[in-house]
Chains A and B, each alone.
Chain A
Amino acid sequence: MKRIYVNEEWCLGCHLCEYECAFANSGISDMVRALKGKQIHPLIHIEDSGDVHFAVNCRHCKDPICVKSCISGALSKGKDGIVRIDRDKCVGCLTCVLVCPYGAVLPAPDGHAAMKCALCTDNGRGEPNCVKYCPNGAIVFETREEA
């Protein structure tokens, strides 16, 4: 399946992807209205350490531990390989948040559920917004041989 990958070599740590992600998932068509004056809750995060920058988001694992650990059946892996969360089923126990080795499942801002990246399939964007707007081509959306 096509996944989002980040090439550390080209990641500049500009954090644009975080804002583009938050915007894409805001449901609002104007970025200023969506994000101005608000705390953003992106599903992709830049890890910065000195000159090293790296964007992290859901790996859509082959055998996802979040799905296994979900007590309400809210998390599932679709036929397309995408791991999704059903907000209506989620009880907000946040077990998934604890078990994800990448820190890619997060508590939703309301605190009542978890949230995660579904490769922009759930927000009408069609293609991952972080990939589209990465200014240095560091974030790519492609199929790779998984180890």
Chain B
Amino acid sequence: MELYIRPDYEVVRNTDKCIACRVCERQCANGVHEYDPATGKMRADDSKCVNCHRCVSLCPTHALKIVKTDDTYRENANWGVQTINEVYRQANTGGVLLSSMGNPKPYPVFWDKLLLNASQVTNPPIDPLREPMETQLWLGKRTAKIERDEKGRLKDTLPPQLKLSVPILFSAMSYGSISYNAHESLARAAEELGIYYNTGEGGLHRDFYRYGKNTIVQVASGRFGVHKEYLEAAAAIEIKMGQGAKPGIGGHLPGAKISEDVSETRMIPQGVDAISPAPHHDIYSIEDLKQLVDSLKEATEHKKPIIVKIAAVHNAAAIASGIARSGADIIAIDGYRGGTGAAPTRIRDNVGIPIEMALAQIDERLRSEGIRDEVSIVVGGSIRSSADVVKAIALGADACYIGTAALLALGCHLCRSCHTGKCNWGIATQQPDLVKRLNPNYGYKRLVNLVTAWKHEIEEIMGGMGINSLEALRGNRLMLRGIGLTDTELRLLGVRYAGESL
């Protein structure tokens, strides 16, 4: 017996405005809207609505809105509506609850409790419209030996590094979890911006090898799509040990999203769920990681930086120290609010720690051990704005991964239903009729716009601080002050409270 569960959202149609053009009906892959020939009117089935706002966006007369239902159970601060419904759902199906995108729970967002500094009198602000303002940076090891040639000139003894025009990279999102057009948009935007996008664990489609110099390829526990050419095509290789949305478990791609093309790229069968192992089965300890790092370096003739990506977990600082000593060039840390195409809800909502804390502790730990130059730090999950980027860099990051923000730029409305494979925006789907809804000619431009806008804002903020190069912002925690934080939080973040003078 299945218990009826009231849907969370209701489709509200202003019938005075609706012209029954049926665009909503044609654009809803979930079949919410329907034209009733008998009345000449549209009707909606709320139970199918995921609140993706495709219909709201496209309705030419703005006759639609989606509202949270006001239907309620008897109020209970402990047993919220969602909690109760989830119990019903599990009692109905016996299954693990699945969700997508990042942790939506109301945990504190520490970015919003950090304030930035600006120059007054004793030190001039710098005007980015009139003076050079540098957002360029290099990622990788900075452990160069000083060696000179016979003329006394310094030799380039630096290990391979990645050059970025802005401290932003598009984070790992696999082909399969997101569409061909989404990948094309990311790749083209990365190329135009002089930054990098990340293939995620789904391999690299043949069509995108041409963007190799702006591509980071991932090697995850499932080893999907990993082969020599794949490694060689990339600018850098990322070993995915974990992901912020689901620390401790492997990737999960529902079979419905494994089309012929995805199957070929991933080198796995079509239509069958692709579930990566929770661990890399050749890495059960840190020394094993070193071997994989070394193998990948050997395979690519030591020409490419190796990134090791971990989820932000309780012991992140010690793990990062181990990674820094493993030969990896870059550590990527993914906070518990990081996105995903599919994750068990309980894991997404309850496992991991905030990226702000993980970053602050890792940066401090590596410095106290004197090995901060061994690795660059890239943080993600979730970086929502240029202000978050600036705060992350001041806390000690070298650069930031953005995933959710990039998807939003492509049209995502955070309905968190990626795992259904029926993304109405053409992003998290493999259905050809839906995929074509994301035109990469526009998608890439929107990504370029977003990052360009953030770059301008970063320049403005840095200029205000009297800093004209990103290098002088990195780890410059005196530029941060906490607000609404406890002493413990301040200590962990390594910042002072607002109002405490220099």
Q: Do A and B bind each other?
A: yes
A-to-B contact residues, CB < 8 Å: 9-10, 12-16, 18-20, 23, 31-32, 35-37, 51, 133, 135-138
Closest to A30 in B: B61
Query: A137 contacts B442, CB within 8 Å?
Result: yes
Chain A residues whose C-beta falls within 8 Å of the C-beta of B61 in the assembled complex: 31-32
Query: B19 contacts A36, CB within 8 Å?
Result: yes
Q: Is residue B60 contacting chain A, with contact meaning CB distance below 8 A? A: yes
Interface membership of chain B positions 423-459, coded 1 if the CB is closer than 8 angstroms to chain A and 0 otherwise: 0000000001100110101100000000000000000
- CB proximity to A under 8 Å, residues B268-304: none
- CB proximity to A under 8 Å, residues B50-76: 57-58, 60-61, 63
Within the complex, which residue of A19, A136, A137, A138 is in contact with B21, where a contact is CB–CB below 8 Å? A19
Closest to A140 in B: B441
B-to-A contact residues, CB < 8 Å: 16-19, 21-23, 26-27, 40, 57-58, 60-61, 63, 432-433, 436-437, 439, 441-442
Query: B442 contacts A16, CB within 8 Å?
Result: no
**What are 20 A-B interface contacts by the 8 Å CB criterion?**
A12-B27, A12-B437, A14-B26, A14-B27, A14-B58, A15-B26, A16-B21, A18-B21, A19-B21, A19-B23, A20-B60, A31-B61, A32-B17, A32-B19, A35-B19, A36-B17, A51-B432, A136-B439, A137-B439, A137-B441
Chain B residues whose C-beta falls within 8 Å of the C-beta of A35 in the assembled complex: 19, 21
Query: B23 contacts A136, CB within 8 Å?
Result: no
Cα(A133)–Cα(B58), bound, Å: 9
Chain B residues whose C-beta falls within 8 Å of the C-beta of A10 in the assembled complex: 436, 439
Query: B17 contacts A15, CB within 8 Å?
Result: no
Chain A residues whose C-beta falls within 8 Å of the C-beta of B433 in the assembled complex: 12, 51
Cα(A51)–Cα(B461), bound, Å: 48
Cα(A14)–Cα(B21), bound, Å: 9
Cα(A136)–Cα(B439), bound, Å: 6
Chain B residues whose C-beta falls within 8 Å of the C-beta of A12 in the assembled complex: 26-27, 433, 436-437
Cα(A13)–Cα(B23), bound, Å: 9
Chain A residues whose C-beta falls within 8 Å of the C-beta of B60 in the assembled complex: 16, 19-20, 23, 31, 133
Provide the main secondary structure of the chain B interface: loop
Closest to B445 in A: A137
- Shortest beta-carbon contacts, A-B, top 10: A35-B19, A19-B21, A10-B439, A36-B19, A137-B439, A137-B442, A136-B439, A14-B23, A14-B26, A32-B17
Cα(A136)–Cα(B432), bound, Å: 14
Cα(A144)–Cα(B22), bound, Å: 33
Chain B residues whose C-beta falls within 8 Å of the C-beta of A31 in the assembled complex: 19, 60-61
Q: A104 CB to closest chain B CB, in angstroms?
A: 21
Within the complex, which residue of A18, A37, A136 is in contact with B436, where a contact is CB–CB below 8 Å? A136
Q: A85 CB to closest chain B CB, in angstroms?
A: 26
Q: Knowing that A12-B436, A136-B442, A137-B441 are A-B contacts, what are 8 other residue pairs whose CB atoms are under 8 Å apart, sorted by A's residue number?
A: A12-B437, A14-B58, A16-B23, A18-B21, A20-B60, A23-B60, A35-B19, A35-B21
Q: A59 CB to closest chain B CB, in angstroms?
A: 23
Closest to B181 in A: A10
Q: Which among A9, A18, A19, A133 has the greatest number of chain B C-beta atoms within 10 A?
A: A19
Cα(A36)–Cα(B57), bound, Å: 19
Closest to B431 in A: A51
Chain A residues whose C-beta falls within 8 Å of the C-beta of B21 in the assembled complex: 15-16, 18-19, 35
Cα(A100)–Cα(B43), bound, Å: 38
Chain A residues whose C-beta falls within 8 Å of the C-beta of B23 in the assembled complex: 14-16, 19
Query: B58 contacts A16, CB within 8 Å?
Result: yes
Cα(A35)–Cα(B16), bound, Å: 12
Closest to B14 in A: A32
Cα(A31)–Cα(B62), bound, Å: 10
Chain B residues whose C-beta falls within 8 Å of the C-beta of A14 in the assembled complex: 23, 26-27, 58
Cα(A36)–Cα(B432), bound, Å: 32
Cα(A14)–Cα(B55), bound, Å: 11
Closest to A20 in B: B60
Q: Which among B16, B26, B40, B441 has the greatest number of chain A C-beta atoms within 10 A?
A: B26
Cα(A9)–Cα(B437), bound, Å: 10
Chain A residues whose C-beta falls within 8 Å of the C-beta of B26 in the assembled complex: 12-15
Query: A15 contacts B22, CB within 8 Å?
Result: yes
Chain B residues whose C-beta falls within 8 Å of the C-beta of A36 in the assembled complex: 17-19
Cα(A16)–Cα(B27), bound, Å: 11
Chain A residues whose C-beta falls within 8 Å of the C-beta of B22 in the assembled complex: 15
Chain B residues whose C-beta falls within 8 Å of the C-beta of A138 in the assembled complex: 439
**Known A14-B26, A31-B61; contact A19-B19, beta-carbon cutoff 8 A:** yes
**Known A14-B27, A31-B60; contact A9-B436, beta-carbon cutoff 8 A:** yes
Chain B residues whose C-beta falls within 8 Å of the C-beta of A37 in the assembled complex: 19, 40
Cα(A90)–Cα(B226), bound, Å: 67
